Amino acid sequence: MLDTYGRKYVNPLINFTANIFINMNFTANFITVTAFLVGISSVAFIYFDLPYIAVGVLWFSGFLDAVDGAMARKMQKPTALGTLMDITFDRLVEMSIVLSLAIKLPKSILHLLILTICILLSMTIFLTVGALTEKKGMKSFYYQAGLAERTEGFIMFSLMIIFQSHLNIITDIFSILVFITALQRLNEARKIFV
């Protein structure tokens, strides 16, 4: 939801950064890989009890993740490979955070497993609708908006990382938000395909 309605406010910074990277001759795919490596590094900071650094690198990776798409569009070089890397790396970062929290707090494994199932369900619907529909948006595929998009995910992951003593309740709230998003996307798909 925040991605859909708030993007216009951060686009100037995203585009400014994209222009800098383009002028430095970086490719969008290079920034995609960089965003992934920065995001995955949050796992180490979670493990070594440095939650604020973990959250900082997570958000920085998310910023770079937005910049790579802006670069591809500006250079008129969005590719299927770039889209594949972007979506795959996003899920790998998310699941690495879930896994690191599960290792640190094994009593929360069931809550984290339910969250993982909800994310899997929502992303399955999202990707299937994107593959089956002929609609295109700003991205290289059809983007289904919903209650819990990338920014809401980052907020919830940040809360999970910082407030680990309340991990179960935060994770459960996150699961509900993602499940509602899955239902929204399923309902939209029904309207598109009927």
Q: Report how many domains make up the chain.
A: 1
Contact 99, 40 (CB under 8 A): no
Rounded Cα distance between 99 and 106, Å, is: 10
Which helix (H) or strand (E) segment is 8 a member of?
A: helix 2-23
Does residue 137 register a pLDDT over 60?
Answer: no
Q: What is the pTM of this model?
A: 0.90
CATH assignment at residue 16: 1.20.120.1760
Domain hosting residue 129, numbered range: 2-193
| Predicted local confidence at residue 190, as pLDDT | 87
Does residue 138 register a pLDDT over 60?
Answer: no
| Predicted local confidence at residue 60, as pLDDT | 98
Lowest mean pLDDT among 19-23, 52-56, 60-64, 147-151: 147-151
Neighbours of 33 (CB within 10 A): 14
pLDDT digits (tens, 9 = 90+) for 1-13: 777 777 788 999 9
CB environment 87-112: b (16+ within 10 A), e (fewer): bebbeebbebbbebbbeebeebeebb
Q: Average per-residue pLDDT in the chain? A: 91
| Predicted local confidence at residue 114, as pLDDT | 98
Q: What's the DSSP call for residue 75?
A: T
Rounded Cα distance between 51 and 135, Å, is: 40
Contact 142, 76 (CB under 8 A): no
pLDDT digits (tens, 9 = 90+) for 73-116: 999 877 889 989 999 999 999 999 999 999 999 999 999 999 99
Angstrom distances, CA of residue 41 to CA of 90, 145, 181: 13, 28, 28
The structure tokens listed for 168 are: 């179960």
